[in-house]
Structure 1
Amino acid sequence: MKLKSKLALTGAATMAALFLGINANAARMDMVDVSNNNGYMSTAEYVSMRNEFGVKTVTVKISEGGTYKDPYAASNIANVQAAGLYINGYHFARYATKAQAIAEANFAGRTAQAAGLPVGAVLATDVESQEANNQSKATNDRNNAAFMQEIQKFGYRADIYTSGSWANNKMTIKGKTGWIAGYPFVPAGKQWYTNNNAWQWSGSAHFRISYGGFDVSQLYNDYYTAGQKSAVKPTNKGAVKANNQAANKHTSKPSASAKWVKETKTYTLKTAVKLRTGASTSSSVVAILPAGTTVKTDQAIIKGGYRWVRQPRFNGYGYLVTGPASNTLEYVKTGTGASHTYYTVKSGDSWWSIAQRNGLSMYTLASQNGKTIYTTIYPGQRLEVR
């Protein structure tokens, strides 16, 4: 798709630019999407996203396939709304046939209702799985249409999320529809996918009081803000400008010719990490390795916005990320002899009190121990605090 700068926008795109106040020097963090991978997200975190980064709306994972329900969907929906942001949802599609698409739409719709997603919100289908990759464009178009038609019966508005390389290749994405992912090295000065609803321009954005990397998107119209001009206003416009510019500078550079390189290293995980069957976030999960696990690797690669390493296993290989490509050691500590500091839980302790005592947020403390703040801790238990 041809890239357009602010000056090149014409017609409806120009109206959208004027409506949203596009800054040609930086892609904006209009929308964030979250899932169980981000753990529990508090109202305070969403308020910070709004006031300091200019986030207008959050799209939360609702479900996947025909059985998986995101355990954080309900709390995310409630906390996003409490922060005064618009709320939407998405379903990770596994369907390969029209019948499966309809069944998944019914499952997603019921799950969204139970989690509290309000009528009128967008419930997008996230189409990037191996199942979809194995189908023809015509079959994917038929399946996506069936899903979206069915999801509207629940009172939700439909859309398709996919990658830029799949849009109009593996499936049709019409103008004024679609939420498209494409990660340039430096997005400043250019707007991608301006004919669509939204452009996901980073998969590793960071927010001040939240742990880990996040997917962020720029909106080109009001589809993801309840079909109306957004009324969400940040309280610190100076911080929004600075934070957006910083995020643009640190976007990871994708490589069309990325190659595996030899890397014989030993890592110790400082937070729980998913071990997958391939070097892709859409690859199946073999296991969730808890914090403290020692991982020996033989190769590494920068791919899809992340730094992946390969772990030889008795029956082949496993793949996991050490962190975003721009921060290669976010999730690990190098060397088996890495220094760890532990705290022994005492009677009366809580996630909050231990975190405060050690200069951490309780979400970071819980995450680096492979837990959530809702996990019960007991006297005598050891927690890693450094």
Structure 2
Amino acid sequence: MIRVKLKNKLVLTGAAAMAVLFLGLNANAARMDMVDVSNNNGYMSTAEYTSMRNEFGVKAVTVKISEGSTYKDPYAASNIANVQAAGLYINGYHFARYATKAQAIAEADFAGQTAKAAGLPIGAVLATDVESQEANNQSKATNDRNNAAFMKEIQKFGYRADIYTSGSWANNKMTIKGKTGWIASYPYVVSGKNWYSTNHAWQWSSTAKFRISYGGFDVSQLNSNYYTAGQKSRVKPTNKGAVKANNRKANKHIYKPATSAKWVKESKTYTLKTAVKLRAGVSTSSSAIAILPAGTTVKTDKAIIKGGYRWVRQPRFNGYGYLATGPASNTLEYVKSGATHTYYTVKYGDSWWTIAQRNGLNMTTLASQNGKTIYTTIYPGQRLVVR
């Protein structure tokens, strides 16, 4: 998941207000307000969550509850109990696989029942994590209908609803209105703006490190109190100096100087995994020259990161066509190269993290190049592309 943000109440205006909201009174540092965890992180102890709170300023944890209509995260119950014992706000999320309204309702019922059994308290957020291939294959209108059905149904269990998705999908693949939504977009660039300030939360890194916890974590900055509302917690960090230092350290390798997008040479051949619009310009608002069906071979000569997407240029007999290959993180979401791959066969006990470490990869990159996310369940015997 492939996965938020509280503001200080100060009376400021104009640019000064925007700067304070964005920096959280901690220059050049996005805050580590919320962490999300799942089975990929393994067992997490109360001590680990307490360290996150005291040394890093974490306020809330959102745990994976379920996926699709059958998968229950085996660590959900222990995560919920240990987060609460550490005095942190607790929420949950469901990784959506639905493609129809009926499936969305069925998954909401499954998620709600699973959350109740795992001990997720009434009043917590139970977000729908919408980033699957099933959603990618649907129209914006269909995704909006399905998401609305899921969220309406989940509220019947006493939980508050929200949508988690990527910045490149928000208001393209589905509608994310102001004062709603948990948006993932990283790595980010210092631009002077407050990222997703009108949404509940912004997930800004998937590789954050915590002192006594193993591996990388998704962290978010909260832009509202939605993910902490309705729950009682007066526990605050015990080491404010460590919180500031650790937040600056977490940002060190994330912030990059703002630069103008530049074309780079890229002579590659891609095969489309799904239908993609070939556009007249490098923008999702540019007119479509054609809709290229799945299976089409596209030869490119240049690539560029622009407008939240990675674009490639296709030479044509009368000029050029442009298509978005995926989010600006350089993951190839819609296309695959024709190169020979090296595969790894999943063994019992493997996780995205262990396989990624074994092959020198970031686990988000590993999952993406296999057309999955780090919250997709993998099984012994599966073959994954590692090169």
TM-score, normalised relative to structure 2: 0.66
Structure 1 residue aligned with 2:149, among 146, 150, 171? 146
Q: Does residue 131 of structure 2 align to residue 128 of structure 1?
A: yes
Show the 5 A alignment for 1:277-316.
Answer: 278-282=369-373, 287-288=379-380
Show the 5 A alignment for 1:147-226.
Answer: 147-186=150-189, 190-226=193-229
Q: Structure 1 residues 286, 37: CA separation in 2 closer, same or farther (over 3 Å shift)?
A: closer
Name the counterpart of 1:32. Answer: 35
Q: Does residue 322 of structure 2 align to residue 319 of structure 1?
A: no
Q: In structure 2, the residue corresponding to 1:84 is in which secondary structure?
A: coil
Q: Is the 8 A contact 1:186 1:248 kept in 2?
A: no
Q: Structure 1 residues 29, 280: CA separation in 2 closer, same or farther (over 3 Å shift)?
A: farther
Q: Does residue 246 of structure 2 align to residue 243 of structure 1?
A: yes
Runs (5+) with no aligned partner, structure 2: 1-7, 257-303, 312-329, 356-366
Q: Does residue 350 of structure 2 align to residue 272 of structure 1?
A: yes
Aligned-residue offset at 1:47: 0.2
Runs (5+) with no aligned partner, structure 1: 1-5, 290-312, 322-386
183-192 or 57-66, which moves further after superposition?
183-192
| Aligned AA (2:141) | A
Q: In structure 2, the residue corresponding to 1:170 is in which secondary structure?
A: coil
Q: Structure 1 residues 130, 264: CA separation in 2 closer, same or farther (over 3 Å shift)?
A: closer
Query: Any idea what the Cα deviations from partners look like across 1:158-202, whole Å, max 9, x if unmatched?
Result: 000000000000000000000000003455965311110000000
Name the counterpart of 1:59. Answer: 62
| Aligned AA (1:184) | P
TM-score, normalised relative to structure 1: 0.66
Query: Any idea what the Cα deviations from partners look like across 1:271-302, whole Å, max 9, x if unmatched?
Result: 9344769445428655458xxxxxxxxxxxxx
Q: In structure 2, the residue corresponding to 1:99 is in which secondary structure?
A: helix
What RMSD in Å do the two structures reach over aligned CA positions?
3.7
Q: Distance in 1 between matches of 2:191 and 2:251?
A: 6
Size of the alignment, in residue pairs?
288
Q: Distance in 2 between matches of 1:207 and 1:192?
A: 23
| Aligned AA (1:282) | T
Q: Distance in 2 between matches of 1:124 and 1:279?
A: 25
Name the counterpart of 1:23. Answer: 26
Aligned-residue offset at 1:63: 0.2
Name the counterpart of 1:354. Answer: none
Query: Any idea what the Cα deviations from partners look like across 1:59-114, whole Å, max 9, x if unmatched?
Result: 00000000000000000000000000000000000000000000000000000000
| Aligned AA (1:319) | V
Q: Is the 8 A contact 2:36 2:61 kept in 1?
A: yes
Give percent identity, aligned residues only: 76
Query: Any idea what the Cα deviations from partners look like across 1:96-149, whole Å, max 9, x if unmatched?
Result: 000000000000000000000000000000000000000000000000000000
Q: In structure 2, the residue corresponding to 1:158 is in which secondary structure?
A: coil
Name the counterpart of 2:79. Answer: 76
Q: Distance in 1 between matches of 2:237 and 2:371?
A: 34
Aligned-residue offset at 1:226: 2.0
Query: Any idea what the Cα deviations from partners look like across 1:18-66, whole Å, max 9, x if unmatched?
Result: 7995534210000000000000000000000000000000000000000
Q: Is the 8 A contact 1:119 1:156 kept in 2?
A: yes
Q: Is the 8 A contact 2:88 2:233 kept in 1?
A: no
Aligned-residue offset at 1:233: 1.2
